[in-house]
């Protein structure tokens, strides 16, 4: 049997090593892309300088995934009839839409603060808000009583049932809670989703499985080459005897 490091096997070793290193490298690259996607979604931009809401999100725009938690400013008119109360562990978020730019314009829900009970003072007229931009929630939690103003989550599709105008595809948590309300803290902001960058994670696993398969093929091929000389010698011994 040929020794493992015989010159006849150097080519097989080189190909096997090249394929294994390529698979490992590509797998690491995909895992890094997965981590980068999660870091981009979860990165903390809550202390950045506030920017005008129209610079980040328009009334018909999909929510910009890289701007979760970005401080924004907006001016407009309260839509008091659209006030809802969103159940949280620490009480209820008091949420009232603001028609950005003035009455009748598309509105964005604004979390005014947290109340221990589903009630708060009414607001009306013009307002200016500085707060953190957030995507609508969507845990598919069922609203046991759609006829009241209490919601299990801040889902835009639920809030829009309480107003007669279009809503933005997100909401704003006010940085300054109103008198009588507790601030809605940053601990309540969304984090990177469990499936963020999942495709890159699966690609990474796929490349590593391919690397393991390449090593298996290399080993089988090398073993066949190592055993071939022994078979040839047996054939020669048989011919010499005959």
What pLDDT shows up at residue 210?
Answer: 79
* Residues 154, 212 within the same domain: no
* Residues 23, 60 within the same domain: no
**Inter-residue contact 94 to 85 (CB < 8 Å):** yes
Q: Are strands 107-115 and 51-52 parallel, antiparallel or unpaired?
A: unpaired
* Residues 29, 62 within the same domain: no
Q: What is the model's pTM?
A: 0.62
**Inter-residue contact 93 to 114 (CB < 8 Å):** yes
What pLDDT shows up at residue 195?
Answer: 54
For 17-60, how does the pLDDT look when each residue is reduced to its tens digit (9 = 90+)? 788 888 888 878 887 877 776 665 556 788 889 999 999 999 99
How many domains is the chain partitioned into structurally? 2
Average pLDDT of the residues of the chain = 82
Residue 125 has pLDDT above 90, yes or no: yes
Residue 237 has pLDDT above 50, yes or no: no
Residue 242 in tokens: 């005959």
Least confident of 78-92, 129-143, 182-196: 182-196
Residue 71 in tokens: 């401080």
In the 8-state DSSP scheme, what is residue 147? T
* Residues 151, 93 within the same domain: yes
What range defines the domain where residue 223 resides? 7-39+196-241
Least confident of 13-22, 63-72, 92-101: 13-22
What pLDDT shows up at residue 238?
Answer: 44
Q: Is residue 129 part of a domain?
A: yes
Q: Is residue 11 part of a domain?
A: yes
Task: Report d(CA 13, CA 48) in Å as an integer.
Answer: 54
* Residues 126, 70 within the same domain: yes
Q: Round to the nearest angstrom and report the end-to-end CA distance of the chain.
A: 24
Q: Pick from 69, 64, 165, 78: which is nearest to 120 by CA?
A: 78
Q: Pick from 129, 122, 180: which is nearest to 149 by CA?
A: 122
Q: Pick from 112, 204, 212: which is nearest to 154 by CA?
A: 112
Q: Is residue 1 part of a domain?
A: no
Mean pLDDT calculated for residue range 72-90: 95
Q: Is residue 184 part of a domain?
A: yes
Mean pLDDT calculated for residue range 129-154: 85
* Residues 53, 170 within the same domain: yes
The more confidently predicted of residues 196 and 54 is: 54
Instruction: Show which of 147, 162, 188 is a domain's final residue.
Output: 188
Question: Exposed, middle or buried, 189 (CB in 10 Å: 0-12/13-18/19+)?
Answer: middle
Instruction: Show which of 188, 216, 232 is a domain's final residue.
Output: 188
* Residues 95, 180 within the same domain: yes
Mean pLDDT calculated for residue range 1-23: 75
Least confident of 3-12, 18-27, 124-133, 156-165: 3-12
* Residues 66, 11 within the same domain: no
The more confidently predicted of residues 239 and 156 is: 156
Q: Is residue 2 part of a domain?
A: no
For 197-207, how does the pLDDT look when each residue is reduced to its tens digit (9 = 90+)? 667 777 777 87
* Residues 221, 119 within the same domain: no
What sign for the dihedral angle of Cα 16, 21, 24, 29? negative
Task: Report d(CA 59, CA 166) in Å as an integer.
Answer: 8
* Residues 83, 118 within the same domain: yes
What pLDDT shows up at residue 240?
Answer: 47
* Residues 176, 80 within the same domain: yes
* Residues 77, 61 within the same domain: yes
Q: What CATH number is attached to the domain comprising 181?
A: 2.40.50
Q: Pick from 3, 78, 24, 44: which is nearest to 205 by CA?
A: 24
| % of the chain residues with pLDDT over 90 | 45
């Amino acid at each position: 049997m040929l020794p493992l490091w015989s010159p006849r096997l150097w080519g097989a070793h080189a190909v096997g090593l090249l394929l294994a290193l390529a698979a490992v490298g590509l797998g690491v690259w995909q895992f890094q892309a997965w981590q980068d996607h999660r870091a981009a979604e979860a990165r903390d931009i809550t202390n950045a300088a506030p920017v005008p809401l129209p610079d980040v999100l328009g009334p018909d725009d999909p929510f910009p995934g890289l701007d979760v938690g970005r401080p924004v400013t907006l001016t407009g008119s309260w839509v008091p009839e659209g006030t809802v109360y969103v159940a949280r562990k620490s009480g209820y978020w008091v949420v009232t839409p603001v028609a950005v730019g003035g009455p009748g314009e598309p509105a964005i829900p604004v979390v005014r603060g947290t109340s221990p009970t589903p009630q708060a003072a009414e607001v009306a007229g013009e307002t200016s808000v500085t707060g953190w931009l957030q995507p609508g929630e969507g845990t598919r939690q069922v609203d046991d009583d759609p006829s009241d103003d209490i919601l299990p989550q801040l889902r835009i599709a639920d809030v829009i049932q309480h107003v007669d105008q279009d809503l933005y595809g997100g909401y704003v948590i006010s940085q300054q809670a109103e008198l009588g309300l507790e601030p809605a803290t940053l601990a309540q902001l969304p984090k990177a989703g469990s499936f963020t960058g999942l495709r890159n994670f699966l690609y990474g696993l796929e490349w590593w499985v391919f690397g393991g398969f390449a090593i298996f093929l290399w080993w089988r091929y090398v073993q066949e080459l190592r055993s071939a000389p022994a078979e040839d010698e047996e054939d020669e011994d048989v011919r010499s005897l005959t």
